[in-house]
Structure 1
């Protein structure tokens, strides 16, 4: 007996948006079973990872701070993926944005003025966009797959951090630790809620998502991204250049990743350290798909993924769960989401063998 996948008619909006919810619920159920089988408190792991960050008001500020970079990077990736351009190197672009902003902070160390943070902001966006321009150039000029180039460049950016914080940017008063000096007050993001860690980057992330939603649904740019991604032949007939779209998609997604890097280094970190790469760029891929490549959906998906980050930290201290457990839950979430997409868009159909068909 043979089976094959047969494409369904266009799935309903309800099914498209119910699938991410089902993926999250299945992740909880299967995660509880798996961790129970390997000797942990499975139900406790699900409770600590998915519910404690919501029920403990002291963790809400952590959710906002963790969700902000995921939302910004996820919005950029959702725009890129809409155009069928597969940027997998947002982590490297995030790092380069943070490095560019750090360069400005160190160059203006000891200075004061309102212009320092905006200059860091511009440098961060430019750094991320410039790093994304490398796979764009290789793709449009030489036909090199952007998945491979963007991914490999991530590891080069991490090595660049290690070099800079151990040599030219090393804090002379840092007792030998590989880190830069702490930024001046003018180069740090202000906290918008007193006595919390909620910085200016949190509302900026929401504004970025709202602006991106408006642009993607109400502008020629958004129409270009959608048409080139969904029907490249029709896009060429309509006068949209595929190469230009690749450049636009990668520059926008890289620039937003760099913006997230700037907000992180000027907010929670306030200096550059080897631990700056936190896998936000890779996790944002899950955020983009969980949000259905819609900037508004990315807001809620970013919050969900932030819950797993914060909950994973809680589970380490309360039930002794490994730090890698967060990655396991996130991977399962992506797996169930992709599997759900296949079942929503395709049906499994039985195909009769040749002998049976002839009979």
Structure 2
């Protein structure tokens, strides 16, 4: 009797490993076009508007930069976390809490001026994200609670916190009843990098964060510790690396970067806290981390691809009437197909002949 089973490859080819994300994106375009054509839309136009128009329309390049920046920062933190085999799914909540902490500083210093306000907001955002990530870290290391559940559930609590703050204690008294805080003072807003555009200084900061993340992971003892603990926990113990300490380190780095990204967003594009501040960047950055092969430099390119789907999805709504969920569908397809491609890259299907009694031959 002939049966089939998966067998792990000894060492996946580096070319195959890095070709898989490209293949996943191409297949997502093809499958996405087929799906939208099947439900009555122009599938080819959908792919063109979502993936190509943001690149060919120079007016949209600044939007790509703005949307890629938070994805890069959060994605780098998640790449570090996942390298340690710690599964932080709540970066969205840490991003939101970082924005809330930064907003608190902006409102407390309202009307003031000084170069120190933005650095203080950045520190507050990072501390807020780290504090929120410390909750699943504590529950994992002390009580053995799975960090996937706790980090994810805390995201919903952070969103409700924003809704409460903008409708009650932080509501703008001059906002005509709208649930939002007052507009930040000039000193609490990120300066524009290119005059006449919306590109702020957070864009180059995101690139610097990715470069630093790559250096730390590839050239430092801390990065080596994270990689060893994630890949071979038993060997890490023999090497003197603490699994508990690594869990804390990974979650705090991930949460701190997510909170920092929240500060950049609330002081950059938004310039105030609003109910729409939770933008799903934390969830999309999970795809960016895996699409970038958990490599901080790869995360830059993966984040740009996902930023294209964000901007293209908005364009497709107005040009060909695609639903708001179109970009999310393509992003989900990319992740699903990437995981499928990884399965084929790391494993191979082997035929096994078995005897009637079940003996393998």
TM-score (norm 1): 0.99
For 2:260 and 2:105, the matched residues in 1 are separated by: 14
Secondary structure of 1:84's aligned partner = coil
Query: What secondary structure is seen at the aligned counterpart in 1 of 2:172?
Result: coil
5 Å-filtered alignment, 1:12-27, equals: 12-27=13-28
2:275 is aligned with 1:274: yes
Q: What residue ranges of structure 2 are gaps of 5+ in the alignment?
A: none
Cα distance in 2 for residues equivalent to 1:50 and 1:161: 32
Name the residue aligned to 2:353: 352
Aligned to 1:65, what secondary structure does the other structure show?
helix
Shift of 1:4: 1.1
Give the Å deviation of 1:352.
Answer: 2.6
User: CA offsets, 1:89-127, max 9 Å, x none?
Assistant: 000000000000000000000000010000000000000
Q: Distance in 2 between matches of 1:292 and 1:160?
A: 33
Query: Which residue number in structure 2 is paired with residue 284 of structure 1?
Result: 285
Who is 2:229 aligned against? Answer: 228
CA positional deviation for 1:2: 2.6
Task: Using the TM superposition, give the Cα deviation of residue 9 of structure 1 relative to its aligned residue in structure 2, in angstroms.
Answer: 1.5
Q: How far does residue 87 in structure 1 lie from its aligned partner after superposition?
A: 0.3
* d(CA) in 2 for partners of 1:281, 1:68: 12
| Matched residue, 2:167 | 166
SS of alignment partner, residue 355 of structure 1: coil
CA distance in 2, matches of 1:344, 1:77: 22
After superposition, what is the alpha-carbon deviation per residue over 1:136-185, rounded to whole angstroms, capped at 9, x for unaligned? Answer: 00000000000000000000000000100000000000000100000000
Q: CA deviation at 1:351?
A: 2.5
Deviation at 1:3, TM superposition (A): 1.7
Q: How does 1:149-164 map to 2 (within 5 A)?
A: 149-164=150-165
Shift of 1:235: 0.2
1:147 corresponds in structure 2 to 148
Match of 1:97 in 2: 98
Q: How does 1:157-306 map onto structure 2 within 5 Å?
A: 157-306=158-307
Deviation at 1:66, TM superposition (A): 0.2
2:324 corresponding residue in structure 1: 323
CA shift for structure 1 position 356: 8.1
Whole-angstrom distance in 1 between the partners of 2:30 and 2:87 = 31
Counterparts of 1:170 and 1:330, CA distance in 2: 34
Partner of 2:132: 131
RMSD: 1.0
Unaligned runs of 5+ in 1: none
Offset at residue 357 of structure 1 (A): 6.7
- When the two structures are aligned, how many residues end up with a matched partner? 359
TM norm structure 2: 0.98
Q: What CA deviation, in whole Å up to 9, does each residue of 1:274-327 have, x standing for no partner?
A: 000000000000000000000000000000000000000000000000010111
